[in-house]
Structure 1
């Protein structure tokens, strides 16, 4: 089970006007995902990266039936919900909270924000989609109110099928996210420079 074990960087929440919650991939670490902040215009942000117990948020593929990934999936979502609530309790409005994840962390990012849709600052999913053997639309409630969301992915990707990315895009569109999906031919399972540039422009509203 996961605990609220976090690594922080950037500004203190008490001194920041914006916060980004960064979610690492399978077999990676909070420090790994925090390193991506070096390439993004977030120097004025407080950065929070939770650490998964054992380095993985849930044991099986994100395309497995959700029950197979329990209780770890629910535990992971609870950790993110608790961190988000803590940030709001410290005076940061939801529209100033951003989310970013890679791979398993991107899937968890999308799953969390779509289960708890409201106007956030933005969300970045580097290679990810909504979780489950199919899309469980009944899990997703709320209205993004124009929250900018970027999903980048490779075609093909060894873990994330493009059709799941596109199905996820459709759900977020229906919930009024301002979503942009970019599919990169044969990019591989990585984060590309172009994805960084897209996130910079679309989510953080900065020019390259």
Structure 2
């Protein structure tokens, strides 16, 4: 594991004593692993398979758009356009952190094919950044209220291992943080590259709603059942 992962604390919740599957769930800018931990009981998951949910806390870094304030973030946001001046160094550094989290689950007996990456906002961006480039197939990619980062590099950097991995992308029609059109453009680009993307919208702002939680639970049930 790299130096960042050894310092990266996580919240872990398990649906059974002997998990065979895992979900690594990445939070958004300024939040931490506590943000989505409460969603686990709301999913109403079946007793099998047993799942370990890992909610890591991103590193604390200065964020330019917030006057350089120190906060948890997977990478810097330089201006309100989000994608115009991307923090490529930070994005690639966090990709290595997430790869190490996957490797840690492998070391604990859970193969990559039984692991899903999930993320909200910045966490969504990192889910796509890592999942599309990973050399081993994942069970799925859950992408909430975010977008595809470093979009110009995806075609040349993606790995065939996750070409057929199911992707669930969801966004709020009233999202004032990440524009709906930006998310739709990311979805379209992935579909044009041949990815299996399920796209959903909900009448909500930059958040999560009950209908979305039900759809997430169904996504887990469908695709963990196949691994």
TM-score, normalised by the number of residues in structure 1 = 0.83
* Selected match of 1:114 from 132, 141, 146: 132
Q: Indicate conservation of the 8 Å contact 1:123/1:149, yes or no.
A: yes
1:12-63 CA-partner distances (Å, limit 9, x unpaired): 9982100110101111011222222222227621121221122111121641
- Contact 1:24 1:30 (C-alpha < 8 Å) held by counterparts: yes
Structure-1 separation of matches of 2:15 and 2:90? 29
- The question of whether the paired residues in 1 share the 8 Å contact of 2:174 and 2:206 is answered with no
User: Which residue does 2:40 correspond to in 1?
Assistant: 37
Give the CA RMSD over aligned residues: 2.7
Closer, same or farther: CA 58–145 of 1 in aligned 2, 3 Å: closer
Conserved 8 A contact 1:143-1:175: no
Q: What 5-or-longer segments of structure 2 have no aligned partner?
A: 61-71
Q: Is 1:64 matched up with 2:99?
A: no
Partner of 2:120 in structure 1? Answer: 102
Single out whichever of 147-156 and 78-87 deviates more from structure 2.
147-156
Counterparts of 2:184 and 2:98 in 1: how far apart (Å)?
Answer: 24
Contact preservation (8 Å) 2:132, 2:163: no
| 1:3 maps to 2:4 | yes
The offset of 1:171, in angstroms, is 4.2
2-structure distance, mates of 1:194, 1:94: 28
Distance in 2 (alpha carbons) for counterparts of 1:45 and 1:145: 24
Structure 1 segments unaligned to the other structure (5+ residues): none
Moved more, 33-42 or 45-54: 33-42
Which residue is 2:208 aligned to? 191
Matches within 5 A, 1:71-110: 71-110=89-128
Q: Confirm or deny: 8 A CA contact 1:94 1:119 kept in the other structure.
A: yes
Alignment length (residue pairs): 201
State which drifts further: 94-103 or 168-177.
168-177
- The SS at the match of 1:95 is helix
